[in-house]
A and B are shown apart, each in its own frame.
Chain A
Amino acid sequence: MNEKLSFYDNEIEIFIKSRFDNVILARSILISFLSNLDLSVNVINELKTALSEAVTNAIVHGYDSDENKKVRILFAYTDAIIKMEVEDDGRGIEDIEKAKEPLYSSKLDEERAGLGFTIMEVFTDELNIESTIGVGTKITMTKRIFDEFSND
């Protein structure tokens, strides 16, 4: 336990098995984690949706829906920003630009909307995608929360 102090006021890291019902669990943990912050319902809903897309992507695309893998999730906040990280050790994304195109999906035959990255982009302020074929994908999303005061 000799790691350096985090820049964030609060931080939580969880590992979930790559099952779809654990996406619900991840959303619940996010809500509990953020409950000390005075956020509007809309901001919470947008963060929930962005998280849901990232974790679902990790399971569906990273792991081809294999339930026996692990997804790492990290939540952190300061009084100005919220950060969410979702990381898998899956197949990796071949063409990130293409994957980010609205309505593009590598699995359209499964009635997928191809909106995952679009939702993550629109519902947060910064989306960063690091991916290596055969190694995995790490999604980092940050949302500024000080805007809240000027808008509401």
Chain B
Amino acid sequence: MSLTVSLAIKKNRLLIRLKGELDQSNVEGLRNRINEVTKKYQIKYLVFNLENLQFMDSSGIGFIIGRYGEIRRIGGKVAICAMNETIYKIFKLSGLSRICLIAKNEDYADQLLGVAI
């Protein structure tokens, strides 16, 4: 199974929906794509929707830590929503659960970020 990425932009918020499996084989392509969009549209808030992400290993954690570092530098925030149980365990191990906003779904993520319309 491969990774399908769909992106949506609302003002300075980028919504990233991931479907499939995220690992070392596809993390670099994803990183380049997100960095390009983040720069081009001056994105300040990132929302990851992992509802349809079946699998992620520490490659994905490294990727999110990297994006968190860049977003924090410009005073933004990162929210993650709809993680499955195993992915949430990895999040807790990495410490990301303490620095990112964790939400049940995209609406909650928007509310937490304070960018709801």
Please report A residues at the B interface, Cβ cutoff 8 Å: 20-21, 23-24, 27, 42, 45-46, 48-49, 52-53, 56, 59-60, 102-103, 110-116, 118-119, 122-123
- Docked complex Cα distance between A107 and B55 (Å): 23
Contact between chains at A53 and B58 (CB < 8 Å): yes
Q: List the 4 closest A-B pairs by CB distance, nearest first.
A: A20-B25, A45-B86, A113-B61, A115-B58
Please report B residues at the A interface, Cβ cutoff 8 Å: 1, 21, 23-25, 31, 55-59, 61-63, 65-66, 84-86, 89-90, 93-95
Closest A residue to B59 by CB, please name it. A56
CB distance from A125 to the nearest CB of B (A): 15
8 further contact pairs, Cβ within 8 A, besides A21-B25, A119-B57: A46-B86, A46-B89, A49-B56, A53-B57, A102-B93, A113-B65, A116-B58, A122-B93
Chain B contacts of A60 at CB under 8 A?
24
- Cβ 8 A contact of A23, one of B25, B66, B85, B89: B25
Contact between chains at A20 and B95 (CB < 8 Å): no
CB distance from B30 to the nearest CB of A (A): 11
Chain A contacts of B93 at CB under 8 A?
102, 115, 118-119, 122
| Interface pairs (18), CB distance under 8 Å | A20-B24, A48-B55, A49-B55, A49-B86, A52-B57, A56-B24, A56-B59, A60-B24, A102-B93, A110-B62, A111-B62, A111-B63, A111-B65, A112-B58, A113-B65, A115-B58, A115-B94, A119-B93
Contact between chains at A45 and B84 (CB < 8 Å): yes
**A113-B65, A122-B89 in contact; A24/B21 too (CB < 8 A)?**
yes
- Docked complex Cα distance between A114 and B94 (Å): 9
Contact between chains at B55 and A113 (CB < 8 Å): no
